[in-house]
Structure 1
Protein backbone atom coordinates (compact mmCIF):
# COMPACT_ATOMS: atom_id res chain seq x y z
CA UNK A 1 0.00 0.00 0.00
CA UNK A 2 1.28 3.46 -0.88
CA UNK A 3 1.85 5.82 2.02
CA UNK A 4 0.10 9.15 1.62
CA UNK A 5 1.91 12.44 1.96
CA UNK A 6 0.44 15.20 4.10
CA UNK A 7 -0.60 17.06 0.95
CA UNK A 8 -2.35 14.00 -0.51
CA UNK A 9 -4.14 13.36 2.78
CA UNK A 10 -5.28 16.99 2.95
CA UNK A 11 -6.56 17.00 -0.64
CA UNK A 12 -8.51 13.76 -0.18
CA UNK A 13 -9.91 14.71 3.23
CA UNK A 14 -11.18 18.04 1.96
CA UNK A 15 -12.63 16.37 -1.14
CA UNK A 16 -14.52 13.86 1.00
CA UNK A 17 -16.25 16.75 2.75
CA UNK A 18 -17.35 18.52 -0.43
CA UNK A 19 -20.43 17.79 -2.55
CA UNK A 20 -19.53 15.36 -5.31
CA UNK A 21 -16.12 14.76 -3.68
CA UNK A 22 -14.65 17.78 -5.50
CA UNK A 23 -10.90 17.98 -4.90
CA UNK A 24 -10.69 21.66 -5.83
CA UNK A 25 -9.72 24.14 -4.62
CA UNK A 26 -6.34 22.68 -3.77
CA UNK A 27 -4.68 23.63 -0.46
CA UNK A 28 -3.34 27.17 -0.25
CA UNK A 29 0.21 27.42 -1.49
CA UNK A 30 -0.06 24.39 -3.78
CA UNK A 31 0.06 25.68 -7.35
CA UNK A 32 2.04 25.54 -10.54
CA UNK A 33 4.42 22.65 -11.12
CA UNK A 34 4.03 21.34 -7.55
CA UNK A 35 0.25 21.11 -7.95
CA UNK A 36 0.58 19.46 -11.35
CA UNK A 37 3.03 16.91 -9.97
CA UNK A 38 0.94 16.12 -6.87
CA UNK A 39 -2.30 15.80 -8.83
CA UNK A 40 -0.63 13.78 -11.60
CA UNK A 41 0.66 11.27 -9.05
CA UNK A 42 -2.75 11.01 -7.38
CA UNK A 43 -4.44 10.43 -10.76
CA UNK A 44 -1.87 7.75 -11.58
CA UNK A 45 -2.58 6.03 -8.24
CA UNK A 46 -6.33 6.19 -8.95
CA UNK A 47 -7.11 8.51 -6.03
CA UNK A 48 -8.26 11.44 -8.16
CA UNK A 49 -10.10 11.53 -11.44
CA UNK A 50 -10.31 14.32 -13.98
CA UNK A 51 -13.91 14.87 -15.10
CA UNK A 52 -15.68 17.47 -17.21
CA UNK A 53 -16.46 20.56 -15.16
CA UNK A 54 -20.02 21.82 -14.95
CA UNK A 55 -19.47 25.52 -15.59
CA UNK A 56 -23.16 26.29 -15.01
CA UNK A 57 -22.78 25.06 -11.43
CA UNK A 58 -19.59 27.08 -11.17
CA UNK A 59 -17.46 24.03 -10.42
CA UNK A 60 -13.81 24.97 -10.10
CA UNK A 61 -11.58 24.31 -13.11
CA UNK A 62 -8.46 22.20 -13.00
CA UNK A 63 -7.59 22.89 -16.62
CA UNK A 64 -9.27 24.31 -19.69
CA UNK A 65 -9.83 22.02 -22.67
CA UNK A 66 -10.95 24.70 -25.12
CA UNK A 67 -14.25 25.98 -26.52
CA UNK A 68 -15.40 27.06 -23.06
CA UNK A 69 -14.95 23.59 -21.60
CA UNK A 70 -12.72 22.41 -18.81
CA UNK A 71 -12.09 19.67 -16.31
CA UNK A 72 -12.27 19.47 -12.54
CA UNK A 73 -10.91 16.90 -10.10
CA UNK A 74 -12.88 14.53 -7.90
CA UNK A 75 -11.73 12.04 -5.29
CA UNK A 76 -12.41 8.45 -6.34
CA UNK A 77 -13.65 5.65 -4.10
CA UNK A 78 -10.05 4.40 -4.00
CA UNK A 79 -8.92 7.83 -2.86
CA UNK A 80 -11.47 7.93 -0.04
CA UNK A 81 -10.51 4.40 0.94
CA UNK A 82 -6.84 5.43 1.03
CA UNK A 83 -7.61 7.88 3.86
CA UNK A 84 -9.82 5.40 5.70
CA UNK A 85 -13.20 6.78 4.70
CA UNK A 86 -15.71 4.26 3.44
CA UNK A 87 -17.14 5.65 0.16
CA UNK A 88 -20.52 3.99 0.84
CA UNK A 89 -20.75 5.80 4.17
CA UNK A 90 -19.92 9.13 2.49
CA UNK A 91 -22.75 8.62 -0.01
CA UNK A 92 -25.14 7.59 2.77
CA UNK A 93 -24.28 10.60 4.88
CA UNK A 94 -24.66 12.87 1.85
CA UNK A 95 -28.14 11.48 1.27
CA UNK A 96 -29.11 11.96 4.92
CA UNK A 97 -27.85 15.48 5.43
CA UNK A 98 -29.71 18.61 4.52
CA UNK A 99 -26.60 20.79 4.54
CA UNK A 100 -23.13 21.15 5.99
CA UNK A 101 -21.04 19.12 3.50
CA UNK A 102 -17.83 19.99 5.34
CA UNK A 103 -18.86 17.71 8.20
CA UNK A 104 -19.02 14.45 6.25
CA UNK A 105 -15.34 13.58 6.47
CA UNK A 106 -15.26 13.78 10.23
CA UNK A 107 -18.64 12.14 10.56
CA UNK A 108 -17.78 8.61 9.64
CA UNK A 109 -14.25 7.51 10.24
CA UNK A 110 -14.70 3.73 10.53
CA UNK A 111 -14.39 2.33 14.03
CA UNK A 112 -15.06 5.55 15.94
CA UNK A 113 -17.61 5.79 18.69
CA UNK A 114 -19.52 8.34 16.63
CA UNK A 115 -19.73 5.84 13.77
CA UNK A 116 -20.95 3.23 16.26
CA UNK A 117 -23.56 5.69 17.59
CA UNK A 118 -24.85 6.42 14.08
CA UNK A 119 -25.01 2.69 13.27
CA UNK A 120 -27.05 2.04 16.42
CA UNK A 121 -29.47 4.87 15.61
CA UNK A 122 -29.91 3.61 12.04
CA UNK A 123 -31.15 0.21 13.23
CA UNK A 124 -34.92 -0.30 12.71
CA UNK A 125 -35.44 -0.56 16.47
CA UNK A 126 -33.23 2.48 17.21
CA UNK A 127 -31.35 2.61 20.52
CA UNK A 128 -31.86 3.77 24.07
CA UNK A 129 -29.37 5.88 26.01
CA UNK A 130 -28.58 2.84 28.20
CA UNK A 131 -27.86 0.65 25.14
CA UNK A 132 -25.59 3.28 23.63
CA UNK A 133 -23.78 3.75 26.96
CA UNK A 134 -23.16 0.01 27.23
CA UNK A 135 -21.82 -0.18 23.67
CA UNK A 136 -19.64 2.95 23.74
CA UNK A 137 -18.70 3.35 27.40
CA UNK A 138 -19.95 6.95 27.33
CA UNK A 139 -21.86 8.60 30.17
CA UNK A 140 -25.53 9.39 29.55
CA UNK A 141 -24.97 13.17 29.36
CA UNK A 142 -22.20 12.65 26.78
CA UNK A 143 -24.54 10.60 24.61
CA UNK A 144 -27.24 13.27 24.74
CA UNK A 145 -24.61 15.89 23.89
CA UNK A 146 -23.34 13.88 20.93
CA UNK A 147 -26.87 13.40 19.59
CA UNK A 148 -27.77 17.06 20.00
CA UNK A 149 -24.46 18.69 19.12
CA UNK A 150 -22.60 16.44 16.71
CA UNK A 151 -25.43 14.62 14.95
CA UNK A 152 -28.24 17.19 14.89
CA UNK A 153 -26.42 20.54 14.87
CA UNK A 154 -23.08 19.80 13.21
CA UNK A 155 -24.12 17.10 10.73
CA UNK A 156 -27.75 18.18 10.26
CA UNK A 157 -29.08 14.65 10.77
CA UNK A 158 -32.73 14.02 11.63
CA UNK A 159 -32.57 12.21 14.99
CA UNK A 160 -35.97 11.49 16.51
CA UNK A 161 -36.94 10.14 19.90
CA UNK A 162 -40.06 8.51 21.21
CA UNK A 163 -41.18 6.84 24.40
CA UNK A 164 -41.72 3.13 23.76
CA UNK A 165 -43.83 1.01 26.11
CA UNK A 166 -41.74 -1.48 28.13
CA UNK A 167 -38.60 0.27 26.91
CA UNK A 168 -36.97 3.60 27.71
CA UNK A 169 -36.93 6.54 25.30
CA UNK A 170 -35.73 5.28 21.90
CA UNK A 171 -33.62 7.43 19.58
CA UNK A 172 -33.61 6.80 15.81
CA UNK A 173 -31.97 8.28 12.76
CA UNK A 174 -34.53 8.94 10.05
CA UNK A 175 -33.69 9.87 6.48
CA UNK A 176 -35.08 13.05 4.97
Structure 2
Protein backbone atom coordinates (compact mmCIF):
# COMPACT_ATOMS: atom_id res chain seq x y z
CA UNK A 1 0.00 0.00 0.00
CA UNK A 2 1.29 3.48 -0.81
CA UNK A 3 2.02 5.97 1.94
CA UNK A 4 -0.94 8.34 2.29
CA UNK A 5 -1.24 11.57 4.24
CA UNK A 6 -4.04 11.92 6.77
CA UNK A 7 -5.91 14.24 4.41
CA UNK A 8 -5.65 11.80 1.50
CA UNK A 9 -6.83 8.95 3.71
CA UNK A 10 -9.83 10.96 4.89
CA UNK A 11 -10.80 11.96 1.34
CA UNK A 12 -10.53 8.41 -0.02
CA UNK A 13 -12.20 6.63 2.89
CA UNK A 14 -15.06 9.13 3.07
CA UNK A 15 -15.63 8.82 -0.69
CA UNK A 16 -15.60 5.02 -0.46
CA UNK A 17 -18.61 5.26 1.87
CA UNK A 18 -20.63 7.52 -0.42
CA UNK A 19 -22.90 6.46 -3.25
CA UNK A 20 -21.09 6.55 -6.59
CA UNK A 21 -17.76 6.99 -4.72
CA UNK A 22 -17.96 10.80 -4.86
CA UNK A 23 -15.00 12.54 -3.21
CA UNK A 24 -16.94 15.79 -2.94
CA UNK A 25 -17.56 17.61 -0.67
CA UNK A 26 -14.03 17.75 0.66
CA UNK A 27 -13.33 17.64 4.40
CA UNK A 28 -13.98 20.80 6.40
CA UNK A 29 -11.03 23.13 6.47
CA UNK A 30 -9.62 21.92 3.15
CA UNK A 31 -10.14 24.61 0.54
CA UNK A 32 -8.34 27.00 -1.75
CA UNK A 33 -4.72 26.36 -2.73
CA UNK A 34 -4.31 23.50 -0.23
CA UNK A 35 -7.30 21.64 -1.69
CA UNK A 36 -6.06 22.21 -5.24
CA UNK A 37 -2.60 20.89 -4.37
CA UNK A 38 -3.91 17.73 -2.65
CA UNK A 39 -6.47 16.96 -5.37
CA UNK A 40 -4.00 17.60 -8.21
CA UNK A 41 -1.54 15.17 -6.62
CA UNK A 42 -4.28 12.54 -6.08
CA UNK A 43 -5.44 12.86 -9.69
CA UNK A 44 -1.83 12.53 -10.83
CA UNK A 45 -1.43 9.29 -8.88
CA UNK A 46 -4.66 7.93 -10.37
CA UNK A 47 -6.58 7.86 -7.06
CA UNK A 48 -9.18 10.41 -8.12
CA UNK A 49 -10.77 11.16 -11.45
CA UNK A 50 -12.57 14.28 -12.66
CA UNK A 51 -15.97 13.52 -14.20
CA UNK A 52 -18.87 15.66 -15.35
CA UNK A 53 -21.14 16.60 -12.44
CA UNK A 54 -24.77 15.55 -12.73
CA UNK A 55 -26.73 18.66 -11.78
CA UNK A 56 -30.00 16.72 -11.67
CA UNK A 57 -28.63 14.56 -8.86
CA UNK A 58 -27.28 17.64 -7.09
CA UNK A 59 -23.69 16.43 -7.19
CA UNK A 60 -21.26 18.95 -5.70
CA UNK A 61 -18.82 20.73 -8.02
CA UNK A 62 -15.05 20.49 -7.89
CA UNK A 63 -14.58 23.16 -10.52
CA UNK A 64 -16.46 24.86 -13.33
CA UNK A 65 -15.35 24.13 -16.87
CA UNK A 66 -16.29 27.57 -18.18
CA UNK A 67 -19.10 26.45 -20.47
CA UNK A 68 -21.74 26.40 -17.76
CA UNK A 69 -20.89 22.85 -16.71
CA UNK A 70 -18.84 21.53 -13.86
CA UNK A 71 -16.84 18.55 -12.76
CA UNK A 72 -16.85 16.51 -9.61
CA UNK A 73 -14.32 14.05 -8.21
CA UNK A 74 -14.73 10.27 -8.05
CA UNK A 75 -12.45 7.74 -6.40
CA UNK A 76 -10.93 5.29 -8.86
CA UNK A 77 -10.27 1.60 -8.27
CA UNK A 78 -6.60 2.52 -7.66
CA UNK A 79 -7.74 4.98 -4.99
CA UNK A 80 -9.79 2.30 -3.28
CA UNK A 81 -6.86 -0.11 -3.38
CA UNK A 82 -4.64 2.61 -1.87
CA UNK A 83 -6.76 2.52 1.30
CA UNK A 84 -6.99 -1.27 1.26
CA UNK A 85 -10.53 -1.62 -0.02
CA UNK A 86 -11.47 -4.01 -2.79
CA UNK A 87 -13.33 -2.16 -5.58
CA UNK A 88 -15.77 -5.05 -6.05
CA UNK A 89 -16.88 -4.77 -2.42
CA UNK A 90 -17.43 -1.02 -2.76
CA UNK A 91 -19.44 -1.40 -5.96
CA UNK A 92 -21.63 -4.02 -4.29
CA UNK A 93 -22.14 -1.81 -1.23
CA UNK A 94 -22.94 1.16 -3.47
CA UNK A 95 -25.57 -0.89 -5.31
CA UNK A 96 -27.08 -1.97 -1.99
CA UNK A 97 -27.16 1.65 -0.71
CA UNK A 98 -28.76 2.85 -3.95
CA UNK A 99 -31.38 0.11 -3.78
CA UNK A 100 -32.11 0.88 -0.12
CA UNK A 101 -32.41 4.61 -0.86
CA UNK A 102 -35.18 4.04 -3.39
CA UNK A 103 -38.48 4.61 -1.68
CA UNK A 104 -41.05 1.91 -2.27
CA UNK A 105 -44.26 2.94 -4.01
CA UNK A 106 -46.90 3.83 -1.45
CA UNK A 107 -49.66 1.32 -1.08
CA UNK A 108 -52.93 2.76 -2.29
CA UNK A 109 -55.93 2.25 -0.02
CA UNK A 110 -58.64 -0.08 -1.24
CA UNK A 111 -62.24 1.11 -1.11
CA UNK A 112 -64.76 -0.74 1.05
CA UNK A 113 -67.44 -2.63 -0.84
CA UNK A 114 -71.09 -1.65 -0.54
CA UNK A 115 -70.39 2.08 -0.17
CA UNK A 116 -71.35 4.98 -2.41
CA UNK A 117 -67.67 5.33 -3.26
CA UNK A 118 -67.57 1.69 -4.45
CA UNK A 119 -70.75 2.32 -6.44
CA UNK A 120 -69.13 5.39 -8.06
CA UNK A 121 -66.03 3.39 -9.00
CA UNK A 122 -68.14 0.59 -10.48
CA UNK A 123 -70.14 3.06 -12.56
CA UNK A 124 -66.96 4.75 -13.85
CA UNK A 125 -65.34 1.39 -14.69
CA UNK A 126 -68.25 0.36 -16.91
CA UNK A 127 -67.32 0.40 -20.61
CA UNK A 128 -69.96 3.05 -21.30
CA UNK A 129 -68.84 5.17 -18.34
CA UNK A 130 -71.37 7.29 -16.48
CA UNK A 131 -72.90 10.72 -16.84
CA UNK A 132 -73.17 13.20 -13.99
CA UNK A 133 -76.98 12.80 -13.95
CA UNK A 134 -76.71 9.00 -13.64
CA UNK A 135 -74.16 9.27 -10.82
CA UNK A 136 -76.32 11.83 -8.98
CA UNK A 137 -79.36 9.54 -9.26
CA UNK A 138 -77.45 6.48 -8.02
CA UNK A 139 -75.62 8.10 -5.10
CA UNK A 140 -77.93 10.93 -4.09
CA UNK A 141 -74.94 13.29 -4.14
CA UNK A 142 -74.86 16.73 -5.66
CA UNK A 143 -72.66 17.44 -8.68
CA UNK A 144 -69.98 19.31 -6.70
CA UNK A 145 -69.67 16.38 -4.27
CA UNK A 146 -69.21 13.95 -7.16
CA UNK A 147 -66.53 16.12 -8.78
CA UNK A 148 -64.77 16.41 -5.42
CA UNK A 149 -64.89 12.64 -4.92
CA UNK A 150 -63.51 12.01 -8.40
CA UNK A 151 -60.69 14.50 -7.94
CA UNK A 152 -59.85 13.96 -4.27
CA UNK A 153 -60.62 10.40 -3.25
CA UNK A 154 -60.37 8.63 -6.58
CA UNK A 155 -57.60 10.76 -8.06
CA UNK A 156 -55.37 11.69 -5.16
CA UNK A 157 -55.96 8.96 -2.59
CA UNK A 158 -56.63 5.93 -4.78
CA UNK A 159 -54.45 7.02 -7.72
CA UNK A 160 -57.16 6.45 -10.31
CA UNK A 161 -57.34 8.62 -13.40
CA UNK A 162 -60.86 9.82 -14.11
CA UNK A 163 -61.25 10.98 -17.70
CA UNK A 164 -64.21 12.87 -19.08
CA UNK A 165 -65.33 13.26 -22.66
CA UNK A 166 -68.12 15.22 -24.27
CA UNK A 167 -69.69 12.72 -26.61
CA UNK A 168 -71.72 13.94 -29.55
CA UNK A 169 -75.46 14.01 -28.89
CA UNK A 170 -74.95 13.10 -25.22
CA UNK A 171 -73.93 14.61 -21.91
CA UNK A 172 -70.35 14.51 -20.62
CA UNK A 173 -69.32 10.92 -19.83
CA UNK A 174 -66.83 10.04 -17.06
CA UNK A 175 -64.66 6.90 -17.07
CA UNK A 176 -61.79 5.54 -15.03
CA UNK A 177 -58.65 5.31 -17.14
CA UNK A 178 -55.22 3.90 -16.33
CA UNK A 179 -53.84 4.23 -12.78
CA UNK A 180 -50.90 6.53 -12.14
User: Which TM-score band (shorter chain)?
Assistant: 0.5 to 0.7
The DSSP-based 3-state class of the residue aligned with 1:66 is coil
Q: Decide whether aligned partners of structure 1 residues 87 and 56 sit closer, same or farther in structure 2, where only a CA change above 3 A counts.
A: same
Q: Deviations over 1:54-107 (max 9, x none)?
A: 11111100000123201000000000110011010111122234447xxxxxxx
Q: Is the 8 A contact 2:18 2:94 kept in 1?
A: no
- Residue 86 of structure 1 corresponds to which residue in structure 2? 86
User: Paired residue for 2:10?
Assistant: 10
What secondary structure is seen at the aligned counterpart in 1 of 2:50?
strand
Name the structure 1 match of 2:36: 36
Distance, in Å, in 1 between the alignment partners of 2:94 and 2:53 is 20
CA distance in 1, matches of 2:96, 2:69: 32
- Distance in 2, matches of 1:53 and 1:94, equals 18
**Is the CA contact (8 Å cut-off) linking 2:47 and 2:75 kept in structure 1?**
yes
Task: Work out the number of aligned pairs and report it.
Answer: 100
Instruction: Measure the CA separation in 2 of the matches of 1:94 and 1:57.
Output: 16
Per the alignment, residue 95 of structure 1 pairs with: 95
Equivalent position SS for 2:65 = strand
**CA positional deviation for 1:39:** 0.2
Unaligned runs of 5+ in 2: 102-180
Counterparts of 1:57-96 in structure 2 under 5 Å? 57-96=57-96
Q: For 2:70, what is the secondary structure of its paired residue?
A: strand
Between the aligned partners of 1:23 and 1:54, the Cα distance in structure 2 is: 14
**TM-score normalised over the length of structure 1:** 0.54
TM-score by length of 2: 0.53
For 2:76 and 2:49, locate their aligned partners in 1 and report how far apart those are by CA, in whole Å. Answer: 6
Superposition deviation, residue 37 in structure 1: 0.2
Q: Which portions of structure 1, spanning 4 or more consecutive aligned residues, are displaced by more than 6 angstroms?
A: none
Matched residue of 1:61: which SS? coil
Which residue of 1 is the match for residue 25 of structure 2?
Answer: 25
Unpaired segments ≥5 residues, structure 1: 101-176
User: Which residue of the partner structure matches residue 149 of structure 2?
Assistant: none
Match of residue 117 from structure 1: none
Q: CA RMSD in A?
A: 1.3
- Structure 1 counterpart SS, 2:73: strand
